[in-house]
Chain A
Amino acid sequence: MADLGNILLFFLFPASVFTALTALVAGITKRRGLLEAARRGAYVAFGVTTLAVLALEYLLITSDFSIEYVASNTNLALPFFYKIVALWAGHNGSLLLWTWIITVFSAMVAYQNRHKNNDLMPYVIFIMAATMVFFSTLSFFISNPFDTLYQELGNQLQEFAVRDGRGLNPLLQHPAMVIHPPILFIGYVGTVVPFAFAIAALITGKLDSDWTHTTRRWALTTWGFLAAGIVLGGKWAYVELGWGGYWSWDPVENASLLPWLTATAYLHSVMIQERKGMLKVWNMSLVISTYLLAVFGTFLTRSGVVSSVHAFSNSGLGPAFAIFLTIATIFSFALLLYRRKLLKPDEEMQSLVSRESSFLFNNLLFLLATIAVLWGTLFPAISELFSGDQITVGPPWFNNIMIPIGLALLLLTGVGPLLAWRHTSVETMKRSFGWPILGSIILVGILVGFGIRDGWSLGSFAISMFVMWTIVVEFVKGARIRSRHSGENLFKAVYMLSRKNTRRYGGYIIHASMVVMFIGFTGNAFNSETRAEVGEGDFFNLGPYTFTATQIHHSENENYSAETLELKMSRNNRIITTLRPEKRYYYASEQPSTEVDIYSTMREDIYTVLSGMSNDGERVIVQVYRNPFVKMVWLGSFILVFGTLFAMLPNLRESKTKNAVKSAAQGSQ
């Protein structure tokens, strides 16, 4: 099976080279037959890679420990489910997954466009296949997951197998980790589709809005997967790493945020291009940057350039990625420069207080956020270059910049959609913003009354209130007008209204999700924690809560042994719950693992960690964090995914009777 996997993986290389070359020639000669051949090449590449993935899965499930990857990432006692997901637990396997996803996307794009975009498609397939060539090279020649274990005997290399594998890293044995990598990979790899269309448009000079229309759903899907992947990474860090937080501006976290920032900017600015024919060069730059940053993120995770809890150990792929990134960067921007004359705007900006300009400032802020995060992430490398000292900038530096930028962006989500295109009068602004502003002021008054003095937090809550208000008003206002004419009740009217313009109202739902998440982020300002050494019967306090250690016990199963602390949590002598933080020891990997226990409500998380233990096992050190509003972050991400899916629904067409109502309504205006 390993040989079969190897053959399949090897075959991907000529298949992707063939696809890339045929597509390129098809583009130059404009011959339909060649395009058809390239399209079939993409299907074949997808087919062989799928089989290679299945071959590796077979080896993982049957525990073939003559394969290094299987022996390093699984063991016999590992639950079946984790054997399957071990496909992306290690560097080589996850690279194969990456490669597989790109073949899936290439095949999908080739199939979707089999009857359209015949001018663009050769180059689209070429770009995607070229990326495939790169990744298949890495996957087969440098980081092959089918490599067998061997040892030197005299002058000969001899293959051998081990009795049991090293097991899956305990940190990865968590449900969030199971879905986090594939989701993030889909987000990363998905950036190649808009990129391929953009480059194809640049090469062919067909720079109208065809490419933005074709890739709209792809861009949105990619964006949603990136967002979900980032949040899941945070969730994993939160429950698995045991330091009480979900985001630490770690280089790899930053690397996943970067393409998301530029993709968000693009989703906004592309609307300007569609409506006004402006910002064409800018949109191209954003699509190109998003792709490059996605590849850069993959590079950062695997090159050992930065150290991170999320990174794979140094894989030796650094130079290959550096070369690929350099070529892709120079090629894309040179092409953009060459075509700049064709990308002239159709219109000029008219007013500072208009929707266009709010989009413009939105993009400026996203760009600055991207540069800031990139700069901070690469600061160790930059400073070493200039001063010889490797200097790392910590989370305070990032927060110092990103909190103001984040709040400004949040404010824009409230202001922007209410501004009219071209120009908004002072009168309209008063009408739209008066009540929301008043609401925010009242909220701030109440919060100050409760003793909250932190300026940034008050600002964040005020802006959240303002934005949420304007969003709700948008829905209600539209629904009222609709129900007056159609006679639908308000809920039905909200539904019909949204379904008729899913992109707009899906966007509002996503804006609302950001508000919810920002409330969660703001909770960080009010975190508190304590640490105590306790034996059975001891107690300590945090805030209004009392924690009593009722029991410390030992247990074992075939995968690991565990020490568990039973911690009773009560308030005013009323028992709320019992928390059970654990320290586990996994036999196969010979690694300890801390399992936190969290009591989570909308208001706050009580997060407990068993951080240490005395030698006799009688006393333990327990750490308790009280983190307000963390659940809002997870809740917000669900709303975000919902909003993204909603925005992708096709707009509902009204039936004939409804149209009659509508024309009657128009007649009465």
Chain B
Amino acid sequence: MREKETTLYLGPQHPGVTGNMMVKLKVAGDTVVKAETHVGYLHRAFEKLMEVRSWMQCFPIVCRICVPEPDPNEENLARAVEEIEGREVPERAKYIRVMVLELARMASILLWMGGQSGSAGLYTMPQWSVGDRDYILDLFEELTGGRVYHMYIWPGGVRRDLPEGFEDRVLKTLDYLESRLPDYDHLMFENAIFQKRAKGVGVIPKEKALEWGVVGPPLRGCGIKHDVRIDEPYEVYDKLDFIVPTYEGGDVWARAMVRRQEFEQSISIIRQVIEKMPKGDYYNKVPNPFNWIVPPGEAYVKTESVRGEFGYYVVSDGSLKPRRIHVRGAAYVHGVSLLEKILVGANIADVSFIMNSLGVCPPEIER
């Protein structure tokens, strides 16, 4: 007998939904028959605002596009402008940038651990991982002055040099976080309930993954080894030694394990960065930001954020203001077309679980 279909609005005011967005579900009994993503609740018109701002004024704006991990945005815009202008970046600044990006990745993974286990009903984990994330935010605060938004990376380098003894404090924090990993394993990754919830849920078919535009941990969770840091190395990633973890299965569990291993890789990358970081300038001369003309040109740059490829398409027409900055958030594809496909057949209780595992981040979908 065919069950009656009901429409269920999940969000925007819903504790399980990742941010301010809504998924309109058609359910038959407990099973999702059709899913439709509704976004736009966080549309602040950043791309329009950047067209009426000077180049330097764009930097405080772009970091607000993705809240859990703002640094890839700054990195992308800075690198795009550098590419159009042909501006050189000192070696030390490149190392500092990699360190900031990896710290941001770790902070974001810790926040994801909290969200992922929280949506499975495991409420101890957020208390631990979000609390530990604050140690990284403290480092950011010391380095840049801001906990969440840093506005630290800018064209030609970074805004400030590392404070005295900062490297030691980073290493100390890394040691602490590494010592916490066994605890996280016991509580979350080796937890039988979590494994039962995560295995076989939200499966992305491997043969479709590339065509559907899946990137980042969801792609690597399908066993396909692609990472912007390897495919198109930026900054100094080609001089660092790290592996790109992959996992077979394409389900929530595989994505969780990929992120779990990426966390370890980030720790190792930052340690290498601190070891290899040269002395010297941390920025090249920045032009007067009030009269800064970027020559006409265009650039598409991309960074591996924690959710996948984060791209910026920047067009300059040789004026004081950008012509067009178009952001490709990793969640743009994951949160709309992919989510609508893989939610079909899922249980209602798994919807927010799957959303968390894809890292759906609505501010970068609608910007």
**Is chain B a partner of chain A in the same complex?**
no
